[in-house]
Structure 1
Amino acid sequence: MAHYSSYNVRIILILTLGSLTYGYVLSVMSNTLGEPGFLSYFNLATDSAYASQVIGAFNGVLSAGGALGCVTVAWTSKRYGRKWSMNASAVVAVIGGAIQTGSVNAAMLIFSRFVIGWGMGMMAVLIPIFQAEVSPPGSRGLLVGQHGTWICAGDAIAGWIGVGTYYSSDKSFQWRFPIAMQCFFPLLLLVCSPWVPESPRWLLLQGRKSSAWEIVAKLHSNTKSDPDGVYAREEFHQMAKQVEMDSELWIGGGGVKQLITRPSYRKRMWMGFFTQYAAQSTGAMVIYNYMVTLYEDLGLSGGKVLMLGAAYVTVASACNFVCSLVMDHIGRRRLLLLGLCGCMVMLSIECIMFSQFGGTNNHVGNSIGVFVIFCFIFFYAGGIDATSYVYCSEIFPTHVRSEGMAWSMIGTFLSTILYVGVGPLALAEVKWKYYLLFISLTAIDIAVIWRWFPEASITKGLSLEEINSKFGDEVAVRLNDKDVKTMRTGMDFEGSGSSPAAHPEALEMKSQSNSTPV
């Protein structure tokens, strides 16, 4: 039983405006690098060495800002709440987009990229956390997986806008309009924010139990499958007891230092960071950020290059959605391994195509090269992209989820700073041989995940609280215990002859027998 309502789905979809922001910001410069007006305005068309340095800086500072955003939101989302942090990230993204739209020189453009990267990094951490904390266990892969789906949708929107503006006779409009569109999605998120409640798990951390219950009741109201709202009461009781127990253990154990000293937390911090690092070590961001260069190396040019880039991320969005549909059935680890293996094989074939046909007019060889690039994104988006966000957002306990997810996403941005930052120089000097690095790293990552990551079913179908037991931590209440199952039948509470929905306090009392740590 999904136990989610239209209210739940509405919140998830509003939150994906942050995902769209993240995807659009990531992609807009990839397409802009193919706009003649942009290249001529910033003097990037005549001096290839200067162009490589500037383009590398464009992409490097975005990731540096993203890393700062991760650190920022790790604190704000815990101190001020998920919703406040969401609005703050949107404001930062709008400011960065406005400065970038009005840039008159390379220095101003680079600074604006850092600012918008800061806002983007905050959203990259916050949105999947928020989505995970308002999603039921059985559908968490589907709902949180929308983050990856809509990131790629943002990529696709940026790509197709770039295709359209390429044919504009106004050279300034060619690149300023796509960049200005970066402000649209975070502005829309701010407008829609009144319809987004605070995370009930964060409210419980603040001791605001009644407010948290009101939200949980709405999130999981399902008059057809659960007319009495028993599931919502069970989940709320589990959430409240887990927060109480974890808070006591957190304070008693010495606070934040436990992220390093406590083995169960340390393991999850390592796993989250490695998952995001491994995703970037496939070379996905290098391929996408420098797709114009990649296609030119295959002998293609002009508007056709931008069309192929837009089609590439459109396929990615569709594959992410399919991934979200099957994730709750297949499991996270299995999808990660499938995606990594597929990316490694496809990138190996691509290197062969480059070595044999790169820069030539061989139609068949270049066509195969383009086809293999699309196969690469099929495996990346279908196995790794959405899965990595879901996995990292759900393996951490509520009271350290913001720190854990932030640390995981730092793995993305640090890897991107390295791989994308040196990309222009590497592709100019060693060309396709640069991709051999990612083939080698992916092979190592596959072995590490296969050997040291828990089995695929570790998080599938479990509540966020019950996942703790898989890492050796205590669980205050298990929803599948015998006494809790009995409550689902709608039997009388405290001899009143009424349903559980009429007496939420009865569930609290009868569930005490299940609150002993296991």
Structure 2
Amino acid sequence: MVRGNIRGSAARGGIAACCGLAFLLFGYDQGVLGAVIGLDSFRKEFDDPNRNLEGIIAAIYDIGCFVGAIVAFLTADYFGRKGSITLGTWIMVVGTILQTASFEKIQMIISRIITGIGNGMNTAMLVIQSALIAFGHPLSTFMGLASRQAEPSSFGWRWPIAFQGVFIAAILMFLPFLPESPRWLVHKGRIEEATDVFARLAGKNSTINDPDVVRERDDIVASVEEEKKLGEATWSEVFTEGKNRNISRVLLGAGPYMMNQWSGINCLAYFLPITFERNIHLSVELSLILAGVLGIQYFALSWL
């Protein structure tokens, strides 16, 4: 059910904003650990974790994201795109609360997994302006710099982690006013609702009988019917070559992203502030400032 009657650019803008916030949150949660892990209050709270444990706490979040993406893949057809995003966001609520309230290492690790699962579900469903991920990194870094003024209180590291709740709340407020995916509605046989969604997105004066709306609906209906005729694909088909060269297509699509991650870029994404501090022996404040400035530069250039 969609609350209100937003249409046209307002509906498209709302969808874009909700999607963008999910990616912004993804980048923020990636970078926030690097912003707080060097703070004295954080290290005191968790008994001065060694380098291996620091790596585990950082990397376990991506394991959660991977699990969340698989969960979204398996459940999206049942819950719908909107329902999956709602579920993922509420999982993030739990993870954020547990992270903010952490007093033990294992609690922090588990809460990072939970948060990752929720965000993995959200970002698996959305494809829009991944540059916002880049903006999340400097935002978390500057948040860590600002909250450093609260040292030695644990507020100095708890507040940057809790701040992601602002984005979570915004997503949850947007969702009731946004339409469900028309493709999912057609797949469920809810043709009239799908037509209404196309009319909403088309503009304020569009109706379900407009030629453009009808054409878009009919294209989706034909596509879904063709998929049903072909039947469900199997995992073995994905990883075999055959006449459709499936495995070649998978490797071509996923390969560049895998190589990008394996290059070691996440060392900078997660640990740039403490890399400056430990390896170049800069002050904590200057390390955070430089990391934030470089993050802003990364965000600006990514739009090119």
Which TM-score band applies after superposition, normalised by the shorter structure?
Answer: 0.7 to 0.9
Aligned residue for 2:239?
260
Secondary structure class of the residue paired with 2:239: helix
Q: Is the 8 A contact 2:100 2:158 kept in 1?
A: yes
Shift of 1:198: 0.6
Q: Deviations over 1:416-439 (max 9, x none)?
A: xxxxxxxxxxxxxxxxxxxxxxxx
Aligned residue for 1:111?
110
Secondary structure class of the residue paired with 1:72: helix
Q: Deviations over 1:397-452 (max 9, x none)?
A: xxxxxxxxxxxxxxxxxxxxxxxxxxxxxxxxxxxxxxxxxxxxxxxxxxxxxxxx
Q: Quick one: distance in 2 between partners of 1:222 and 1:123?
A: 29
Q: Is the 8 A contact 1:36 1:171 kept in 2?
A: no
Q: Is the 8 A contact 2:40 2:151 kept in 1?
A: no
Shift of 1:102: 0.8
Identify if the C-alpha distance between structure 1 residues 27 and 7 changes in structure 2 by more than 3 Å, giving closer, same or farther. Answer: same
Aligned residue for 1:189?
171
Secondary structure class of the residue paired with 1:171: coil
Is 165-174 or 84-93 further displaced after alignment? 165-174
Is 208-217 or 256-265 further displaced after alignment? 256-265
Q: Is the 8 A contact 1:11 1:195 kept in 2?
A: no
How many residues are matched? 292
Q: Is the 8 A contact 2:14 2:174 kept in 1?
A: no
Aligned residue for 1:272?
253
Shift of 1:279: 2.5
Aligned residue for 2:29?
25
Aligned residue for 1:457?
none
One of 6, 13, 16 as aligned partner of 1:9: 13
Q: Quick one: distance in 2 between partners of 1:106 and 1:55?
A: 10
Aligned residue for 2:216?
235
Larger radius of gyration: 1
Aligned residue for 1:361?
none
Q: Quick one: distance in 2 between partners of 1:242 and 1:265?
A: 20
Q: Quick one: distance in 2 between partners of 1:316 and 1:79?
A: 38
Q: Deviations over 1:315-373 (max 9, x none)?
A: 222233x23xxxxxxxxxxxxxxxxxxxxxxxxxxxxxxxxxxxxxxxxxxxxxxxxxx
Shift of 1:34: 2.5
Shift of 1:160: 1.3
Unaligned runs of 5+ in 2: 1-7
Q: Indicate whether 1:180 and 2:162 are aligned.
A: yes
Is 259-268 or 12-21 further displaced after alignment? 259-268
Q: Indicate whether 1:247 and 2:251 are aligned.
A: no
Aligned residue for 2:273?
292
RMSD: 2.3
Q: Is the 8 A contact 2:274 2:287 kept in 1?
A: no
Aligned residue for 2:83?
84
Q: Deviations over 1:8-51 (max 9, x none)?
A: 1221112222112211111110111232211222222xxxxx51
Q: Is the 8 A contact 2:137 2:269 kept in 1?
A: no
Q: Is the 8 A contact 1:33 1:292 kept in 2?
A: no
Q: Quick one: distance in 2 between partners of 1:169 and 1:246?
A: 58
Aligned residue for 1:211?
193
Q: Is the 8 A contact 2:72 2:125 kept in 1?
A: yes
Q: Which residue type is aligned with residue 66 of structure 2? A: A
Q: Quick one: distance in 1 between partners of 2:228 and 2:301?
A: 39
Shift of 1:257: 4.5
Q: Is the 8 A contact 1:153 1:314 kept in 2?
A: yes
Q: Which residue type is aligned with residue 100 of structure 1? A: Q
Relative contact order (alpha carbons < 8 A, sep ≥ 6): 1 or 2 greater? 2
Identify if the C-alpha distance between structure 1 residues 202 and 309 changes in structure 2 by more than 3 Å, giving closer, same or farther. Answer: same
Q: Quick one: distance in 2 between partners of 1:212 and 1:266?
A: 33
Identify if the C-alpha distance between structure 1 residues 18 and 210 changes in structure 2 by more than 3 Å, giving closer, same or farther. Answer: same
Shift of 1:275: 3.3
Q: Is the 8 A contact 2:64 2:117 kept in 1?
A: yes
Q: Which residue type is aligned with residue 103 of structure 1? A: S
Q: Which residue type is aligned with residue 81 of structure 1? A: G
Scaled by the length of structure 2, the TM-score of the pair is 0.87
Scaled by the length of structure 1, the TM-score of the pair is 0.53
Secondary structure class of the residue paired with 1:112: helix
Q: Which residue type is aligned with residue 97 of structure 1? A: T
Q: Which residue type is aligned with residue 268 of structure 2? A: I
Q: Which residue type is aligned with residue 222 of structure 2? A: K
Q: Is the 8 A contact 2:72 2:124 kept in 1?
A: yes
Q: Quick one: distance in 1 between partners of 2:10 and 2:136?
A: 24
> Runs of 4+ in structure 1 displaced over 4 angstroms?
254-257
Secondary structure class of the residue paired with 2:197: helix
Q: Indicate whether 1:42 and 2:46 are aligned.
A: yes
Q: Is the 8 A contact 2:40 2:152 kept in 1?
A: no
Aligned residue for 1:122?
121
